[in-house]
């Protein structure tokens, strides 16, 4: 006995740690006088996707999906019996199948091999040892059992497996239909999105210069405060020195007049000696005080001047960066206002000039233009659409 006939009755999903498909197979024997007892059975399963339900199954492009083993004890029968095979069906395998299926029906090919022990109606063994063979489908030629699964039934089977990929592909056709409906809208807005992306990029660069301008503006306020403080201190010290000087002159004049009246009775030589010693002592002390006051006043004046220069530098950088930010912010308006490439290039060159050229703000002295700026303009001209090379 090397040939039995079989028909697949059903495919049942069995979820679990290892998802399985339970394949129920009905086996028939043409000679109902013989009792067939299976010694071992093994099945190999393959799957193909016909173009339509009207096309006959094609075994040539079928994909092998693994080995199915009997789920119960091996049967023994005379005319017909039913047995079940379990086919492991993991997520990776299902992903490969669904990628190739693309919403079509499924044809299952089951190649079953076996060894049997055959007895006659009296229970005597027909032949010594076991006999091997295969099970074929009577509806199709060949040595396999064939079962066509409509796509709706197949989707129910794979949903019953509980594999996560099913949830991602369950509404694939619905998503595809919606995608086709919105494809026109997507294409219509694509160009707008590109232009918006360019504008966003320009705005982001403008924000960089704006942030830098705000930083220099805040720093300029601090240094203006320092300049005012140092200038006020220098003025206070200068006023104090002036008042002290006038007071010392007045005191010296009053002491000089009173000293002349008290020393008229003394001898001329004694008067000269006393006057010279006092004059020398006062002169040395006044020189030391004058030098120390001059140093303090010079430091305060220098600090005030230095703080003022730093303030002017920050104000200069603030004005330059604000000018660059304004140039970038208005560039898009002028560039999109015309379709002429030459006009767009002129706007680009002017914006480049505003960004990279040295600017005279009035806070610092006139600076000589950098030598690298003409090269920048040449590079921009070179990459413009009017150049080819």
Of all residues in the chain, the percent with pLDDT exceeding 90 is 14
271 and 184 Cβ atoms separated by less than 8 Å: no
Which range among 60-69, 104-113, 355-364 shows the weakest confidence by mean pLDDT?
A: 355-364
The closest alpha carbon to 18, from 121, 92, 72, belongs to 92
Per-residue pLDDT at 62 exceeds 80: yes
Report which DSSP code applies to 370: P
pLDDT of residue 22: 94
Comparison of pLDDT for 167 and 66, the residue scoring more: 66
pLDDT in tens, 87-96: 998 888 888 8
pLDDT of residue 300: 83
DSSP bridge pairs for 147? 108
Burial class (CB in 10 A: 0-12, 13-18, 19+), 294: exposed
Per-residue pLDDT at 214 exceeds 70: yes
Give the mean pLDDT of 204-233.
85
Comparison of pLDDT for 307 and 33, the residue scoring more: 307
DSSP bridge pairs for 68? 43
The closest alpha carbon to 6, from 98, 68, 53, belongs to 68
Rg (CA), the chain: 52
**H-helix or E-strand spanning residue 37:** strand 35-48
pLDDT of residue 250: 72
Distance CA 316, CA 358 (A): 11
pLDDT of residue 112: 92
Distances (CA, A) of 372 to 108, 203, 350: 74, 26, 16
Distance CA 234, CA 232 (A): 5
pLDDT of residue 285: 63
pLDDT of residue 190: 64
Decide: helix, strand or coil at residue 161: coil
Q: Which two tokens stand for residue 312?
A: 């002017």
Comparison of pLDDT for 335 and 144, the residue scoring more: 144
pLDDT of residue 201: 56
Output the CA torsion sign for 305, 307, 308, 312.
positive
Provide the pLDDT confidence category of residue 387 given band limits of 50, 70 and 90: very low
Give the mean pLDDT of 248-272.
60
What's the residue count for the chain?
389
pLDDT of residue 90: 80
Per-residue pLDDT at 5 exceeds 50: yes
Provide the pLDDT confidence category of residue 338 given band limits of 50, 70 and 90: low
59 and 48 Cβ atoms separated by less than 8 Å: yes
pLDDT of residue 388: 43
Highest CATH level, class, for 3-170: mainly beta
- 32-47 core/surface letters (b: 16 or more CB in 10 A; e: else): eebbbebeebebbbbb
pLDDT of residue 161: 85
pLDDT of residue 18: 83
Phi, psi of 28 (to 5 degrees): -125, 150
Provide the pLDDT confidence category of residue 70 given band limits of 50, 70 and 90: very high
Distances (CA, A) of 70 to 21, 43, 67, 73, 124: 12, 8, 10, 7, 27
Per-residue pLDDT at 153 exceeds 70: yes
Give the mean pLDDT of 304-332.
82
Per-residue pLDDT at 372 exceeds 50: no
**What mean pLDDT is reported for the chain?**
76
Distance CA 112, CA 81 (A): 15
Comparison of pLDDT for 125 and 147, the residue scoring more: 147
Comparison of pLDDT for 28 and 388, the residue scoring more: 28
Per-residue pLDDT at 262 exceeds 90: no
Decide: helix, strand or coil at residue 61: coil
Domain boundaries, the chain: 3-170, 190-258+286-382
């Amino acid at each position: 006995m090397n040939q039995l006939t079989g028909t697949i009755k059903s495919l049942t999903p069995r979820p679990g740690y290892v998802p399985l498909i339970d394949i129920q197979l009905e086996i028939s024997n043409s000679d109902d006088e013989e009792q067939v007892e299976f010694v071992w059975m093994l099945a190999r399963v393959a799957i193909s996707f016909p173009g339509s339900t009207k096309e006959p199954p094609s075994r040539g492009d079928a994909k092998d999906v693994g080995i199915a083993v009997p789920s119960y004890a091996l049967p023994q029968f005379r005319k017909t019996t039913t047995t079940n095979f379990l086919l492991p069906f993991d997520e990776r395998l299902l992903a490969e199948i669904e990628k190739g299926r693309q919403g079509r029906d499924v044809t299952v090919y089951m190649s079953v091999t076996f060894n049997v022990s055959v007895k006659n109606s009296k229970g005597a063994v027909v032949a010594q040892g076991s006999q091997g063979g295969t099970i074929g489908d009577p509806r199709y030629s060949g040595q396999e059992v064939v079962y066509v699964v409509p796509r709706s039934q197949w989707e129910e089977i794979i949903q019953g497996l509980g594999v996560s990929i099913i949830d991602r592909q369950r509404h694939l056709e619905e998503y595809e239909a919606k995608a086709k409906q919105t494809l026109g809208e997507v294409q219509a807005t694509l160009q707008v999105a590109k232009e918006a992306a360019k504008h966003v990029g320009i705005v982001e660069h403008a924000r960089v210069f704006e942030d830098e301008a705000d930083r220099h503006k805040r720093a300029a306020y601090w240094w203006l405060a320092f300049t005012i403080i140092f200038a006020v201190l220098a003025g206070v010290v200068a006023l104090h020195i002036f008042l002290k000087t006038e007071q010392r002159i007045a005191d010296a004049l009053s002491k000089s007049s009173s000293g002349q009246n008290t020393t008229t009775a003394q001898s001329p030589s004694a008067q000269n000696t006393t006057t010279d010693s006092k004059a020398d002592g006062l002169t040395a002390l006044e020189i030391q005080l004058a030098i120390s006051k001059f140093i303090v006043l010079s430091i305060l004046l220098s600090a005030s001047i230095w703080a003022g220069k730093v303030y002017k530098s920050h104000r200069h950088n603030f004005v330059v960066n604000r000018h660059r930010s304004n140039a970038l912010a208005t560039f898009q308006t002028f560039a999109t206002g015309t379709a002429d490439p030459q006009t767009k290039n002129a706007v680009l060159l002017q914006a480049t000039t505003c960004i990279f050229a040295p600017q005279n703000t009035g806070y610092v002295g006139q600076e000589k233009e950098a030598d690298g700026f003409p090269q920048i303009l040449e590079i921009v001209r070179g990459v413009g659409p009017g150049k080819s090379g």
